[in-house]
Every structure is written in structure tokens, then in C-alpha cells.
Structure 1
Amino acid sequence: MPYRACAVSVLTALAPALMPPAASAQYPEHPIRVVLPYAPGAAGDIALRQIQPLLEKRLGQPVVVDYKTGAGGNIGMQDVARAKPDGYTLVLGAANNFVINQFLYRKLGFDPLTDLEPVGKLADVPAFVYVSADVPAADWTQFQAYARAQAGKLNYGSPGMGTTPHLSAYRLSKAMGANMTHIAYRGAAPAVQALLANEIQLYIGGYSIAAAYVPQGKVRALAVAAPQRFAALPGVPTAKEAGMPDAVQGNWWGFAAPKGAPADRIARFAEALRDVLGLPEVQQAYLASGFVPGQDSPATFGAAWREEAKQWEAVVHESGVVLDN
């Protein structure tokens, strides 16, 4: 065989191997698995289900939700941290899974800041500060005065130790010198029932509580911890407007991939996510559910993780709360 013909033959045979991986296939080629480390019905699950068909249409492949519950979300998070970093396994976790639990649990088994790649925020869940209707306070100033006068006698509740509602309420109680007692419940539902019964006087939670009980006068919403007022409750001031200490932070839900996942695949999913979350019909649906759609990039989302983690690390250490898996 002539040299030129031989060289062409060899190059032809090697061509597939020489092509860059990104050019060999269009991502995604098959379904994407999204691990949700909580039981069905969690806020993140609701937010994802509202956009799932639109996201699948953008990506051209199914997005399959895999529920892996337990240990405050740590089991599902660890599953993804140890998964193959190919862009086909993601996790949809809450704020505590990314920026709190590594400081809270004795043996987490992984570090979300180093073992996961940020993809994008699905939604913010602004935190409303609620008080029982039996509390003689119509606004934050009145409640603060009442709590100080009753120092050591009032309770605040949370859906569990180390959650954002727990740590935010802890900070708030300390900031106003109220020395309130924390009561941890097994989830938001029993905590809300305790607020309705005045077993606890303060609770920090999402919009759904306001939608269900504020119009009936069963609870009062004193403020919302957000940069601006929540559109569905324009009469509730922001924490800053109410004069509240900068102590309350809302929850959020975001996507991450195993460390080392291809950047182009992460960018593809993040772009599809942003496109869907920018649709007017999605924004309206999220508003009705108490969500604010995320609109960031993997880089800005990752930067927000690192900054928020510093804040929560200090709060966790100050509170002295330590948990076991």
C-alpha cells in the first residue's frame, strides 16, 4: 500500500479516538437522575415537579427523581458525592445540605464544598417570622418588647435541630435578649400546629403558613427575611423595614453534581434550568407556592455557597448544637 494511502487509512481508523469527548455525543444522551434527599412532598420536590416537564423538553431527556432520605438529607447527598462524575447524576438539596450540615454533624463523610460541583439554584424560599395569635403584639417592635419583658418564658419551635428555622430563631432570640426556649418537632406540620395552639410563640417558616392561617387571624406574619417584600403578601414588611436584627435567613434549594463532572454538561443543565425558571408561567406558579425562582450561573451559585457557609459555621459553633448521623 502506498505511504499516503496507508497514512490516510490509519488516520481514518484513529479519528473517533482523536475526537474530543464533547464532540462525540450531545448531552444528555439518556435520562438524568436527580437525587432528592428528602421524602416526596418536600418544598424542593414541589418546586421541581412544577418545572419537570419543561426541563425535560429543553434537555430532550427524562429527568428522573430518586428519593434517598435519611440523616437530615446526608444519605442522599453522600450518594451523589460518590457517584460517577459524568453529569447524569445530580442532587437537589436544601440550604442545610450545602452550607450547614458539615458543621453540624460529627461524621458527615463528605464535604459539600469540596466534593460537589455547583450547578444552579432552583428556588429561594423566603422565611416569614410568625407569632401566635395569642401573643399581644401586632408588629416586630411590640413583639420584641413583649419577649424581653417575658425573657425566659417564651418558646420558639422548629422542624428539627440544626435546621435554618432553628438556627435563625436562635439568633433572633439572642439578638433581642429574650432567652426563648427551643422546641424541636418532627417536621414543619407539627411545629405549625404548636404555633396555632400557642405552645410556641415564634416560628420561622415559608409562605404556605401565611396563605393558610394569616387571613383567618390564626397567626401573624411580622416580617419576611428577603431583600424585598413578597409579592403575594405585600402588606408584610421585610425584616429590614420592620427593624428586625439581621439574624433570619430563608431556605433555598439547588442542584449540584459530583466533583469533576464535565463543565460543559453542567453548563448545559444550568442553561436549561435558567431558561425554564425565566418563563412567566413558571414565575407565577412559584409565587403562588411561596418560591422565588433562581437565576444564577454555576459560578455565582458556588460563590454564594462559600460565603453563606462561613456565616452558618459561626452560628452552629455558637449554638453548640452537634448531631450524629
Structure 2
Amino acid sequence: AAGNLGVDAVAKAPPDGYTLTVALSSNLMINQFLYTKLPYHPEKDLKLVAKVAEAPLVLAVSSHLNVSNVADLRKYMQSHKGKMSYGSWGVGTISHLSASRLNDLLGGDMAHVAYRGESPMINDLVAGNIQVSFVTGAQAPQFIAAGRLKAIGVTGPARLAALPDVPTLSEAGVNDPLLRAVGWVGVAAPAGTPAPIVDRLATEIDKAMRKPDVQKRIRDLGWAPSYQGPDDIAATYRREAPIWKEVVRQSGAKLD
């Protein structure tokens, strides 16, 4: 159920610091705008303890397209209105919402094709059956290195270490709050967990995050190690939640 069952179990667990969730920002923030009957309320039922990673997306185009950068893509979209498709790994996912936003910004009038996961989406992108998609840092680099996909931008405020020559979308001229944001991975406890326990958990997570083997493991998953404590991750939530709420509204995506 898109991770909702596991997060709901934590939301209803005793607030003693022994039951935690490590979850994506979709579960901890975005899904409340997609589901009308979400069994938990992220702000009321959970306490954010720490952010441990960021999950930027790579804007990739089929190598069949004569497109090398975002400016090329904008021109191509304008001259092929109503004839292009973008993929996602599911309705309401970050890949869908980010691509929907890009479609609106560039005025491409592209059709959305939702897949059951990223792998089949990438297969169709490589084959040229769809023209553009956001892909993850875990799966994209191998196809880009082989010349089967072209990376033309990344979400977030900084370039990816694995793709240092690929500009951020802001650098490429698409300066939008949602595309400057990134998905993230956070640790949360049940609401009502005492502050001393939350602080102790955050301190220990911070220590773990400084270990090279932990950082390597996070990078191997296609993410970027990025620690924030309780106050900072709460500020990130307050800043980003209204942006995602509006994008979900504009996209019309609903999951129940």
C-alpha cells in the first residue's frame, strides 16, 4: 500500500522510542495530499527524528531524441505538442508529480504513462516508446554511461556526485520551487515520544551518519547522505509540504 501500512503501524505504536520508521518523504509528507483516507496523519501521529538522505531525480530523455539539454527539450516539446509522453513509476509518485510540473512549466502537453515500477518505465524510455522521464540515481547512471539514455538535468540544489557534468534544473533555466526540492528519507517515531528520547535517537543517528560505510551504503542506493536533526527536518517539512500539496492539486492525482 505504497508504504502506508508500515508507517501506520509506527504511528499507532507506543511512543517509547523502540518502534521507528525509516520512510520516504512520500510517506511522511506527500501521501496525505494523495489519499483521502490515509490511516494516519503525518503531522499529528508522527514525530520526525532525523533526515538521513536526499533522493534527487535525474531528468532523462530517450537517446532517440535529438535533445542534449533542457533548452533543446523545450524546443522539441513545443514543436511536437500532443505527440510526446512522459513516464513515471506510478500515479502520485514523485516521478509523476515532478514530470507533471515540468510538463506545465515547459508547455509540452505531454501524456502521462504510469508503470508498475521504475524498471519497466526505463525499458520503454530506452526503447523510445516514451520520450522523457525522471529516473533515480540508482538505476539511471548505468544506462547513461552506456549511451542508452541522455541525462539533461537533476532536481535539487546541487549536482549529483555520480553525474557531475549534468546541471541542476535551476542551472538549466527551470527555476521552480518543486524542482529545487528533492525527495528525502527520514526517521520518524510515534507522536508523543518524549523529547529526551527523540534527542538521543537523533544524536545516535548523527553519529552513525558520520561513518564512511554508512555513507557508502546510502550512495550505493542512489541517494545522497544528508543529515538533519528534529528541528531542521521539521523546518524542511513546513517549507516543502505546501509546494507538494499544490502540485498534487494541479496534477489531479488521487490514489483512493
- Per the normalisation by structure 1, the TM-score is 0.75
In structure 2, C-alpha distance between the alignment counterparts of 1:111 and 1:285, rounded to whole Å: 30
In structure 2, what is the equivalent of residue 229 of structure 1? 159
Say which SS state the counterpart of residue 214 (structure 1) adopts: helix
Q: How far does residue 294 in structure 1 lie from its aligned partner after superposition? A: 2.1
Say which SS state the counterpart of residue 159 (structure 2) adopts: coil
Pairing 1:294–2:232 present: no
Counterpart of 1:270, as a letter, is A
In structure 1, what is the equivalent of residue 79 of structure 2? 149
Say which SS state the counterpart of residue 286 (structure 1) adopts: helix
In structure 2, C-alpha distance between the alignment counterparts of 1:155 and 1:274, rounded to whole Å: 42
Cα deviation 1:74-104 (Å, max 9, x = unaligned): 1111111111111100111111112211111
Residues 139 and 222 of structure 2 are in contact (CA less than 8 Å); yes or no, is this contact kept in structure 1? no
Say which SS state the counterpart of residue 242 (structure 1) adopts: coil
Cα deviation 1:287-306 (Å, max 9, x = unaligned): 34422112211111112112
Residues 133 and 218 of structure 1 are in contact (CA less than 8 Å); yes or no, is this contact kept in structure 2? yes
1:303 corresponds, among 225, 235, 238, to: 235
In structure 2, C-alpha distance between the alignment counterparts of 1:106 and 1:281, rounded to whole Å: 40
Counterpart of 1:117, as a letter, is K
Counterpart of 1:198, as a letter, is G
In structure 2, C-alpha distance between the alignment counterparts of 1:102 and 1:124, rounded to whole Å: 20
Distance change in 2, residues 1:245/1:173 (3 Å): farther
Residues 157 and 185 of structure 1 are in contact (CA less than 8 Å); yes or no, is this contact kept in structure 2? yes
In structure 2, C-alpha distance between the alignment counterparts of 1:231 and 1:78, rounded to whole Å: 34
Q: How far does residue 119 in structure 1 lie from its aligned partner after superposition? A: 0.5
In structure 2, C-alpha distance between the alignment counterparts of 1:189 and 1:317, rounded to whole Å: 27
In structure 1, C-alpha distance between the alignment counterparts of 2:166 and 2:147, rounded to whole Å: 14
Q: How far does residue 173 in structure 1 lie from its aligned partner after superposition? A: 0.3
1:125 corresponds, among 55, 62, 65, to: 55
In structure 2, what is the equivalent of residue 271 of structure 1? 203
Residues 57 and 154 of structure 2 are in contact (CA less than 8 Å); yes or no, is this contact kept in structure 1? yes
Aligned length: 254
Pairing 1:159–2:89 present: yes
In structure 1, C-alpha distance between the alignment counterparts of 2:208 and 2:11, rounded to whole Å: 26
Say which SS state the counterpart of residue 138 (structure 2) adopts: helix
Residues 85 and 257 of structure 1 are in contact (CA less than 8 Å); yes or no, is this contact kept in structure 2? yes
RMSD of the alignment, in Å? 1.4
Say which SS state the counterpart of residue 60 (structure 2) adopts: strand
Q: Matched residues, percent identical?
A: 40
In structure 2, C-alpha distance between the alignment counterparts of 1:84 and 1:209, rounded to whole Å: 37
In structure 2, C-alpha distance between the alignment counterparts of 1:189 and 1:298, rounded to whole Å: 34
Residues 52 and 228 of structure 2 are in contact (CA less than 8 Å); yes or no, is this contact kept in structure 1? no
Q: How far does residue 145 in structure 1 lie from its aligned partner after superposition? A: 0.6
Q: How far does residue 285 in structure 1 lie from its aligned partner after superposition? A: 4.3
Cα deviation 1:268-315 (Å, max 9, x = unaligned): 111111112123443344334422112211111112112211111111
In structure 2, what is the equivalent of residue 116 of structure 1? 46
- Per the normalisation by structure 2, the TM-score is 0.94
Distance change in 2, residues 1:289/1:323 (3 Å): closer
Q: How far does residue 143 in structure 1 lie from its aligned partner after superposition? A: 0.9
User: Whose relative contact order is higher, 1 or 2, with alpha carbons under 8 Å and at least 6 apart?
Assistant: 2
Residues 53 and 186 of structure 2 are in contact (CA less than 8 Å); yes or no, is this contact kept in structure 1? yes
Q: Which of 1 and 2 has greater Rg? A: 1
Cα deviation 1:117-152 (Å, max 9, x = unaligned): 011012111111111111110111101110111111
